[in-house]
Every structure is written in structure tokens, then in C-alpha cells.
């Protein structure tokens, strides 16, 4: 899903609103997933549950 990946990379780069510094990969994926879950029309797990982190989360 493009919206999740856009949010993920914003968080990872530290460019998300309210986020001034880069995050770890795990934190960025978590925060992006939570933001998508809160969006109307994307609450169903179909839109965010298929994305997992493989490897080191930092």
C-alpha cells in the first residue's frame, strides 16, 4: 500500500509532523502503521497487517 510506505519513509527520515529526528526502522514502521490504522477507510487489517520487519530493526 503506497500510503503506508510513504508514511514509513517520512518517519524514517524524520520528516513526519511532530517528528524532528530520524527513527529506527522498527519505530518508523510502527508509527506509520498506527497512522494508517487511524485513517478512515484504512482501518481494516488488509491495508496494514501484511507489512512486517525482517532483520534488525535499527
pLDDT tens digits, 8-34? 998 888 887 777 777 889 999 999 999
Which pLDDT band, with edges at 50, 70 and 90, does 5 fall under?
very high
Cell of 51: 507489512
Query: CA separation (Å) from 40 to 13, 20, 36, 44?
Result: 25, 26, 8, 10
Q: What is the pTM of this model?
A: 0.79
Cell of 52: 512486517
Across the range 38-56, mean pLDDT stands at: 89
Cell of 39: 485513517
Which pLDDT band, with edges at 50, 70 and 90, does 58 fall under?
low
Cell of 35: 497512522
Across the range 36-57, mean pLDDT stands at: 88
Among candidate residues 53, 54, 56, the one with its CA nearest the CA of residue 31: 53
Amino acid at each position: 500500500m503506497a500510503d503506508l510506505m510513504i508514511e514509513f519513509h517520512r518517519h524514517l527520515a524524520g520528516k513526519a509532523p511532530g517528528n524532528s529526528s530520524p527513527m529506527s526502522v522498527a519505530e518508523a514502521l510502527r508509527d506509520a502503521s498506527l497512522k494508517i490504522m487511524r485513517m478512515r477507510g484504512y482501518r481494516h487489517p488488509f491495508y496494514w497487517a501484511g507489512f512486517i520487519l525482517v532483520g534488525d530493526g535499527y
